[in-house]
Amino acid sequence: MSELKSTKSIDRVYQFVKQYIHENALSPSVRDICKGAELKSTSSVHTYLKKLDELGLIEYRPGMRRAIILKNTDSDEAEVTPLGSEKVPSNVVRLNCIGKITAGQPIYAHEDYSDYVYVNKSLIGSNESFLLRVSGTSMINAHILDGDYIIVRKQDSCDEGDIIAALIGDEATVKRYGHMNGRPYLFPENDLYEPIPFDTEDCKILGKVVGLHRYTIN
């Protein structure tokens, strides 16, 4: 008498359960299904749930609240988002590797989207940052090794003693910034290398090193 319940009740129940679980990652209660399947009695729903269980379409655990489980079956992409799918939070940034810091190579060449790292924002601050791969051992005394990834926070200037990424000409390096005899230098942290005068015409500060990742799976 009501209207067009085009589909059978048992089908509406099943469809609704699937949809509800998909949307809420949580099984509906019998009364939720009442509303969703346009049934007015919980006992009706109860009947169908038992049938659906017998049909093997759902797993129904008598007495347990919100305990319907979709039985993985057939047809529509059975992606059944179990409960608790894991996603990566929004407080994480993906940093693609912008290039290798090494002698003679310009960086900013391109980003290598297959070479990246995820970083917790709270650990590096909210400023814009980028990722570089270290090549060479010129910063070994600062415990920055060949192959390490360094996270650089973009900035134009820096403080005395900061470890920074800088351009010298079109060559990029990591060095410690400081002064000697009143003049600015870039200091390698390796006795085999000489300090480099920081020439404001030729040199440019890219940013400060705020993090380091090293992966040594051999």
Query: Distance (Å, rounded) from C-alpha 198 to C-alpha 123?
Result: 29
Q: Can 175 be counted among the known catalytic residues? A: yes
Phi, psi for residue 34 in degrees, rounded to 5: -50, -55
**Residue 67 lies near DNA (rule: CB under 7 A):** yes
**Residue 30 lies near DNA (rule: CB under 7 A):** yes
**Quick one: 63 or 104, whose CB is closer to a second copy?**
63
**Residue 65 lies near DNA (rule: CB under 7 A):** yes
Dig out the tokens for 93 from the structure: 């940034």
**Quick one: 172 or 210, whose CB is closer to a second copy?**
210
Residue 130 in contact with residue 207, Cβ under 8 Å?
yes
Partner whose footprint covers residue 182, from a second copy, DNA, none (CB < 5 to 8 Å by kind):
none
**Residue 90 lies near a second copy (rule: CB under 8 A):** yes
Size of the site for DNA (CB under 7 A): 27
Partner whose footprint covers residue 62, from DNA, a second copy, none (CB < 5 to 8 Å by kind):
DNA
Say how many C-beta atoms besides its own lie within 10 A of residue 121's C-beta: 14
Phi, psi for residue 110 in degrees, rounded to 5: -165, 160
Q: Which residue has the tokens 């949809």?
A: 19
**Residue 47 lies near DNA (rule: CB under 7 A):** yes
Binders of a second copy among 130-159, rule CB under 8 A? 140, 143-145, 153
In the complex, minimum distance from the CB of residue 97 to DNA, in angstroms, rounded to a whole number? 17
Dig out the tokens for 160 from the structure: 């005395």
Phi, psi for residue 21 in degrees, rounded to 5: -65, -40
**Quick one: 77 or 194, whose CB is closer to a second copy?**
77
Pairing of strands 92-101, 129-134: parallel
In the complex, minimum distance from the CB of residue 24 to DNA, in angstroms, rounded to a whole number? 11
User: H or E stretch including 152?
Assistant: strand 149-154
Dig out the tokens for 46 from the structure: 């109860």
Q: Which residues of 164-188 are buried (b: 16+ CB within 10 A; e: fewer)?
A: bbbbbeebbbbbbbbeeeeebbbbb
Query: Distance (Å, rounded) from C-alpha 118 to C-alpha 139?
Result: 23
**Quick one: 171 or 189, whose CB is closer to a second copy?**
189
So which residues are the catalytic ones?
138, 175
Q: Which residues of this protein are in contact with a second copy, per CB under 8 A? A: 18, 21, 25-27, 29, 56, 61, 64-67, 69-75, 77-96, 111, 113, 116-120, 123-125, 140, 143-145, 153, 163, 209-217
Summarize as ranges the residues that interact with DNA (CB under 7 A): 1, 5, 8-10, 29-32, 39-49, 60, 62-67
